[in-house]
Amino acid sequence: MRTIVKTFPGVQALRGVDFDLMPGEIHCLIGENGAGKSTLMRVLTGAQRPDSGEIEISGETFSGLNPALSQKLGVGMIYQEADLVPALSARDNIFLGHERVEAGMILKKKEMRREVERIFGQLNLNFPPSTIVRDLAPAQRQLVQIAKSLSRNIRILVLDEPTAALTDSEIGYLFDLLNELKSRGIGMVYVSHRLDEIMAIADRVTVLRDGSHVATQRIGDVTKGSLIAAMVGRNIDAEARSTSSKADKVVLSVRGLTVKGQFEDVGFDLYQGEVLGLAGLIGAGRSEVLECLFGVTQPDAGSISVEGKAVKVNSPIEAILLGFGLVPEERRESGLVLGRSVAENITFPVLDRFSRFTFLSRGKLVEVASRLVSQLSIKTPSLGQSVRTLSGGNQQKVVIGKWLAAGTRILLLDEPTRGIDINAKFELYQLVRDLTAKGMSVIMASSEMPELLALSDRILVMSEGRLVAELDAAMTDQVEIMHHAVAGARREGEAA
Amino acid sequence: MTSNMATADSGIDWRKLLAENAIIPALLVFIVLAGIATGGRFLSPSNLTIILFQSSVLGVLVLGQTLVMLVAGIDLSIAAVAILAAVIMGAGGSERQIMMNFSGILPYLGFLPAILIAIAGAALAGLINGLVVVKLRIPAFIATLAMSLALSGLAMLATGGSPVHYPDPFYESFGQTKFLGLPMPIYMFLALSLGLGLYLSRSKLSVQLYATGGNPRAAALSGIPVSRITILAYTASGLLGGIAGFLFLARTGSVAPHSGGNLLLETIAAVVIGGVSLAGGKGNVLNAFAGTLLLVGLSNLMNILLISPHLQDAVSGIIIVVAIMANTRLQDAPAGQ
């Protein structure tokens, strides 16, 4: 791809970017959100035509592609957010649009079944291909997507944040797989925010910033620090440790909490000003524990007490009154009403405060929203802007802002930095530190271990629905956490 | 992506405003074109009055349908609610009419009790719709279709299938009473539309309605009483259906179990032309109101131009599709980048 230029109304998304990919190579593409990575890849997959520049694939030169042509040329794409049909099985999704047929219409079911089993074996997937996609966890959906693109004959594979929803062990499988594809001569463009992964998998790496090409280097010639510096244009301390704000007062006490089929016998204390990390593989039950605390599901056994008083949380509304706030894992599905404004989204839990006999004072609402927008430095053209158009990091701040408005004392964060760029991540970390310094207590479930280690006071490790370890964040490391998370899983496996 | 720090609203996004309210200029253009096409007859005060008069029943039903669609539901029983309410008001409220009936299922209630019972019953039907949709998790389409069939059956049973010809004379005189040249039902229709529109523009309920329709899961996790809001929308829809039944009787002076005709489909058409999304969380009362006037105005125009009624239905169908296409395009365009 040479001197690709793409302009949108008001924004020059790409300013003459060069990019090349060799067969059997993994070429990582990094840059902050808005740097132009997605646009560049959309040009490659034919979703967008460049204003100028040219694309050369296997010796053929094009001024622009369309999706059909791009597919014919062997370009495959795996999107950040799974694009599967939820009502169909994994197998049917994999062959969607290119079903194997004979006589023009009869499905060759046996052949497809065998092919899917082969791909599943390759990917080490542990669920049956007949599972309906709706019933799969986000990570499993991502893997189905990868399986889907493998079932096509591809020469170039574009992966956009493929690991965003995966656990470390699943990432391991994925990397084995990518290496195998590499040995078959498939060229891959790997778009990601996760530098550790890039260091592990890339042959070369290209950095984009504000629509311009900054650098292309062999992976041996760069360090994490130099990549971050190239992305943001300045140096950032990636491993900043927190100072603890933990006090002696127990704010939340959980004993023997059980939701059948999700988690069992979970018990812990949360102290004022503490950040309690919740580690574990996907499916370990971390999100489920948070949802139960927030009244989304009802426990089958166990007790919850808030500030020494035993409570029963029957609904999110009751949870909010008790001082809980949940920042859910799937921000766009569960955290925000995308079509509504920043001001409304921030004030949903506290509408009652601005209304009298059901009449709403928009003035007061805007006042509170505008105070939070500036406190959290949420970047939005206006308070009336629909949150759909904000970047991931700013969307997440809106979700957190909602709980600041509500006066939350116990903040439940579920994968708070998923899919947001590195600057926004650091802002969020700082925000969590500021909030705990003011006495808020935080439970944070995260798959990003550096983040857990840097922010938490203590880290609880869950495995297969049970709490298997409590670790002092200052005294532990990724290896120990992973050891507990996986060891529990293995025991379960042996028992079964 | 241009995003700059802002701590307060920085002016109005005209493009978005136009995209979301395209029905208003469309209605104005239509009125001008219709005026030209008919050599001004369309614009005569008497014709405009007819359009408003004809819009009154549909317009009130549209208000109810809009509320339900905002929470991503649909009320297929709203026309049946209106007709049954009209039957109860007309037959149960008139001694003379009850004597005409054979079945005797509907007793003589008295004029005022009949009105109150009819309207309360309409609201109750809406409440049941809401409870069935929310508590039993039955799709709105099925739940309200069943309600529609059940109520139509009741109307048949109560009247034995024959029309209610002799409602209390109040209805006809109310329908014909004019104030400043306009019949009373028009005032009721306008007052309800204006009242609901204004109420929604400054109430907590509207924020909750849009949040519930826009993303019920996120709304629930933000502390919005999603179930209560949804049930409330269906109940209000039933209540408005009852009021529409009153207007129906006042406008026509009689009602038959089959009088509903195309009324149900017209409510959906008007709401959709007004840009209210079937997926919920998008649209507003003012636009649905404009959609009603456009739909009724179009049919009036075709009557003036002596276009065959059969062709009229086809034209209405095409307009609905065009309106949906235009709304989808307009609303998606600005979010394209």
Q: For the residues A440-456, what does the mean pLDDT come to?
A: 88
Inspect the interface and report whether the beta carbons of B5 and A377 lie closer than 8 Å: yes
Pairing of strands A250-259, A301-306: antiparallel
CA–CA min distance A69, chain B (Å)? 22
Instruction: Give the residue-averaged pLDDT of B131-146.
Output: 95
Q: Is B286 in contact with B210 (CB distance < 8 Å)?
A: no
Minimum-distance CB partner of A348 among B1, B206, B222 = B222
- DSSP letter, residue A241: P
What DSSP assignment string belongs to A274-311? Answer: -EEEEEE-TTSSHHHHHHHHTTSS--SEEEEEETTEEE
pLDDT digits (tens, 9 = 90+) for A381-404: 888 888 888 888 889 999 999 999
* A396 close contact with B: CB closer than 8 A: no
Beta strands A156-160 and A75-78, pairing class: parallel
pLDDT score at B331: 66
Instruction: Tell me the residue type at B238.
Output: G
Rounded-to-integer distance, Cα B250 and Cα B229, Å? 32
Give the DSSP H/E element, type plus range, for residue A29: strand A26-30
Q: How many CA atoms lie within 13 A of A85 on its CB side?
A: 10
pLDDT in tens, B270-279: 998 888 888 8
> B-contacting residues of A 18-47, CB under 8 Å?
34
What interface predicted TM-score (ipTM) does this complex get? 0.81
Contacts of A119 (CB under 8 A, 6+ apart): A94, A147, A150, A151
Q: Is the pLDDT of residue B264 over 80?
A: yes
Q: State the CB neighbour count (10 A cutoff) for residue A86.
A: 12
Q: Phi, psi (5° rounding) for residue A150?
A: -70, -25
**pLDDT single digits (tens) A207-245:** 888 788 888 888 888 887 788 777 766 444 445 555 677
Distance to chain B for A16, nearest Cα, Å: 18
The separation between CA B125 and the C-alpha centre of its own chain, rounded to angstroms, equals 16
Percent of chain A with pLDDT over 70: 90
Percent of chain B residues past pLDDT 70, beyond the cut: 92
Mean pLDDT confidence for A428-454: 89
Q: How confident is the model at residue B5 (pLDDT cuts 50, 70, 90)?
A: very low
Residue A277, phi then psi, degrees to nearest 5: -80, 145
Q: Which pLDDT score, from 0 to 100, does residue B120 have?
A: 97
- What is the mean predicted confidence (pLDDT) over B140-166? 89
Chain centroid, CA A287 distance in Å: 13
Backbone angles phi, psi at B135, to 5 degrees: -80, -40
- The confidence score (pLDDT) of residue B4 equals 37
pTM for this prediction: 0.75
User: In this complex, do B10 and A334 lie within 8 Å of one another by their Cβ atoms?
Assistant: no
- Alpha carbon dihedral A87, A90, A95, A100, in 10-degree steps, equals -100
In terms of pLDDT, which residue wins out, B104 or A340? A340
Name the A residues in 67-126 with CB < 8 Å from any B CB: none
C-alpha separations of A78 from A23, A38, B256, B286 in Å: 18, 12, 59, 43
Contact between chains at B204 and A352 (C-beta distance less than 8 A): yes
Higher local confidence (pLDDT), A224 or B9: A224
Of all residues in chain B, the one with the smallest CA distance to A348 is B222
- Are A472 and A155 spatial neighbours (Cβ–Cβ below 8 Å)? no
Tens-digit pLDDT profile for residues B224-235: 999 999 999 999
How confident is the model over B161-209, as pLDDT tens digits?
788 887 888 888 888 888 888 899 999 999 999 999 999 988 999 999 9
List residues of B whose CB lies inside 8 A of any A CB. 1-11, 13, 202-208, 210-211, 214-215, 217-225, 281-282, 335, 337
The pLDDT value given to residue A237? 45
Q: How far apart are CA A489 and CA A280, in angstroms?
A: 10
First to last CA, chain B: 8
Do A380 and B6 make contact, defined as CB atoms within 8 angstroms? yes
pLDDT for residue A476 is more than 90? no
For residues A117-133, give the mean pLDDT.
Answer: 80
CA dihedral A230, A231, A233, A237 (to 10 degrees): -90
With cut-offs at 50, 70 and 90, classify the pLDDT of residue A34: low
Classify the phi-psi angles of A323: left when phi > 0, otherwise alpha if psi is within -120 to 50, otherwise beta. Answer: left
State pLDDT tens for residues A244-303.
Answer: 777 888 999 999 999 988 899 999 999 999 999 999 876 788 999 999 999 999 999 999
- Please, which pLDDT band fits residue A78 given cuts at 50, 70 and 90? confident
CB contacts of A351 in chain B (<8 Å) are 204, 207-208, 224
